[in-house]
Amino acid sequence: MSSPSQAPGSKDSSIVRPGSLLAILGGGQLGRMMAMAARTMGYRVRVMDPEPACPASFVVDETIAGRWDDVDAARQLATGVDSVTLEIEQIGVNALAEVARLAPLRPGVEPIRVIQDKTLQKTWLAENRFPVGPFRVVRSEAELRDAVPALGGNVFLKIGRGGYDGRGQARIGCESPPTEEAIAAAWASLGSRPSIAEKALDLDCEISVMAARNPAGEIRTYPAARNHHENQVLAWSALPAGVPTNLEARAEELAAAMIAKLGIEGLLCIEFFVTRQGELFVNELAPRPHNSYHQSERGCATSQFEQAVRAACNLPLGSTELMTPCAIANLLGDLWLNGEPDFPAALAVPGVRLHLYEKQTPRAGRKMGHLSSIGATAEEALERVLEAKRRL
């Protein structure tokens, strides 16, 4: 039920029952898979996306075309729906506020405002004493010139807004010395925009933890996933992560504390760095389903997509128990460069399933789909998806 009589942004904590109309800001692969989970539970779904033929458009009742800052499109999306959630954090704050005026917006405007800008997000994490590696917010080339030596000379520079899959990032002092020219070039390459400079950490591995919280305040965390990036893009992810139990428990504790502190009604995925010294640092937050939990569809009692629907509808959260080890490997557009990949060959590998997002044009680096598998161990599940990918 929408509650136009309520104050702007106020929450309707009533349960949104199956059969109701659910709206999603964003119709990419995450929105598509969330929509499929919602449909399984009998919900009707409406999405908003700049691209009318977005991945979710093929599985939903209605697609509204609109840019992320389009207030009119946001109004159209939220009118007459029972709950609104999102699959991308880059939605304009005015559009979010308009949605929240018309329907329960879960996770909520304020946490999205903080998370969608890496400068605000990292500052929030540090102010709230969550463990982050050394960083500085930089607003000018001069500030960057000061920051680089202060951070040890080997630095990741990331734009505050709009970066993803390693886009909007530059390295300084990694392959060549951090000269003034190199710093100026890095600053210019990102469009001279407010950014964060981070010390390059000596990583042992990367893990993530997905947390969920519903409007009733119930919180659940998933076991940690192990993530492997290539060229700053997630290549594969596996559950369980196989990290020491106390490290995993600490990561889950931090995830639960963050989702409570941010007051999120929905999902929050925390990407963590584990350094060679065994320290645990937060890399970044995502208030939505995350690529590193696609395998939860195969191995967990409740997939991240169903959990997102439950949280958005104030239903009891599902069990996050890992029933069987599982893994995914991403399929980037590069695989299409020499024609259609050999899907039948990949599907001959036992336990492997194919997930394609129906994106119309493959491009290098574009996430087109993924392979998933279960196995007796995370290593076996991973070996299966990697073998299937080799066969493509």
**Residues contributing to the site for ligand ATP (CB under 6 A):** 133, 156, 158, 163-166, 169, 198, 200-201, 203, 206, 229, 232-234, 271, 283-284
In the block, residue with structure tokens 């680089």: 148
Q: Which is nearer to ligand ATP, 163 or 318 (CB)?
A: 163
In the block, residue with structure tokens 């800052």: 69
Q: Which two tokens stand for residue 275?
A: 């350094």
Q: Which is nearer to ligand ATP, 54 or 88 (CB)?
A: 88
Q: Residues near 35 by Cβ (< 8 Å), separated by ≥ 6?
A: 24, 45, 47, 56, 59, 60
Q: Which is nearer to ligand ATP, 272 or 305 (CB)?
A: 272
User: Among ligand ATP, Mg ion, none, what binds residue 242 when CB lies within 5 to 8 Å by partner kind?
Assistant: none
Min. distance of Cβ 88 from Mg ion in angstroms? 14
Euclidean distance between CA atoms 233 and 170, whole angstroms: 14
Chain positions contacting Mg ion, by CB under 5 A:
271
User: Among ligand ATP, Mg ion, none, what binds residue 206 when CB lies within 5 to 8 Å by partner kind?
Assistant: ligand ATP
Nearest one of 34, 79, 56, 119 to 297, comparing CA atoms: 34
User: Among Mg ion, ligand ATP, none, what binds residue 166 when CB lies within 5 to 8 Å by partner kind?
Assistant: ligand ATP
Min. distance of Cβ 271 from Mg ion in angstroms? 5
Min. distance of Cβ 134 from Mg ion in angstroms? 18
Q: Which is nearer to Mg ion, 70 or 271 (CB)?
A: 271
The length of the chain, given as a count of residues: 392
Reduced to 3 states, what is the DSSP secondary structure of residue 87?
coil
Q: Residue 232 has what DSSP assignment?
A: T
Q: Residue 140 has what DSSP assignment?
A: S
Min. distance of Cβ 318 from ligand ATP in angstroms? 25
Min. distance of Cβ 194 from ligand ATP in angstroms? 15
Q: Residue 167 has what DSSP assignment?
A: B
Min. distance of Cβ 299 from ligand ATP in angstroms? 21
Euclidean distance between CA atoms 112 and 287, whole angstroms: 7
Euclidean distance between CA atoms 382 and 276, whole angstroms: 23
Q: Which is nearer to ligand ATP, 52 or 152 (CB)?
A: 152
Reduced to 3 states, what is the DSSP secondary structure of residue 244?
coil
User: Among Mg ion, ligand ATP, none, what binds residue 98 when CB lies within 5 to 8 Å by partner kind?
Assistant: none
